[in-house]
Amino acid sequence: MLRTRVIPIVLLSGYSVLKTIKFDERRNLGNPITIARIYNTRNVDELVLLDIDASKQKRAIDFFTIQDIASECFMPLTVGGGIRKIEDIRNLLKRGADKISINTYALENPDFISESAAIFGSQCIVVSIDLKKGPDGYFIYSSIDNETTKLNPIEWCKKCEELGAGELLVNFVDLDGTMAGVAHDYINQIANAINIPLIASGGVAVPEDAVKIAKAGASGVGISSIFHFTNYTPLDCKIAMNAAGILVKI
């Protein structure tokens, strides 16, 4: 049985670390090297770095920034932001990334998932999916035009797996940065629809929320705000998960 992972989600804009609320309001948290060093000491299982402005600004994530961060990061590292070419993936892997997260371009060109998985292996390709809740349920949200798409989220998750994604990262936009509780029921629906690992992120307020995400079927719990704005640590989340019978690495 695989251990459930505790995975901080670190948002970048260029060389600055940000924390958003509902993908909108921003707080600057400083230098990514410092953040990486802190997480090195806190027994996290992986780290996800996402440049949230790269696609909007039609640029790739800065490769040298990733190289600097990776040199200080002693855990598996997933990197995303503005990836639109095979060469982007190759450059990031050369600079220390272990996995690549694709979001916007996967929606624009789903065949890119298959192409990249065929070259680098499915285990390297993570598809990131942003969800927003509307009157008729959840929809996939595109940050490029600030609109929801017409894609059915569950069907898109299944399609990404069919195309070769090795893992999904699902972000709940309405819960981002709110510390208002998690969407464990919908996480469970996604987890039951796919056969690849799922990281779910958004709304964790207390370690018990990490338990809810894990029990819903996610193999990774994406967390950010409580590690920056409360006294809770990754170890607190793992202790709660372990006490609930969830296998974790402590």
What span, in angstroms and rounded, lies between the C-alpha atoms of 162 and 109?
A: 14
pTM of the full structure: 0.94
Q: Mind listing the domains of the chain with CATH numbers?
A: 5-243 (3.20.20.70)
pLDDT band at 20 (very low <50, low <70, confident <90, very high): confident
* First-last CA distance in the chain: 15
What span, in angstroms and rounded, lies between the C-alpha atoms of 181 and 65?
A: 33
Of 45, 88, 130, 176, which residue is the catalytic one? 130
Lowest mean pLDDT among 11-15, 42-46, 103-107, 118-122: 11-15
Instruction: Average the pLDDT over 185-210 and give the result.
Output: 98
Instruction: Average the pLDDT over 9-35 and give the result.
Output: 83
Helix (H) or strand (E) holding 89: helix 86-94
Taking residue 168's Cβ as centre, other Cβ atoms within 10 Å add up to 25
pLDDT in tens, 122-159: 999 999 999 999 888 999 988 665 455 678 999 999 99
Instruction: Average the pLDDT over 171-188 and give the result.
Output: 95
Identity of the highest mean pLDDT range in 39-43, 119-123, 142-146: 119-123
User: Is 174 a residue of the active site?
Assistant: no
145 CB contacts (<8 Å, ≥6 apart)?
Answer: none
Instruction: Average the pLDDT over 63-83 and give the result.
Output: 93
Instruction: Average the pLDDT over 194-221 and give the result.
Output: 98
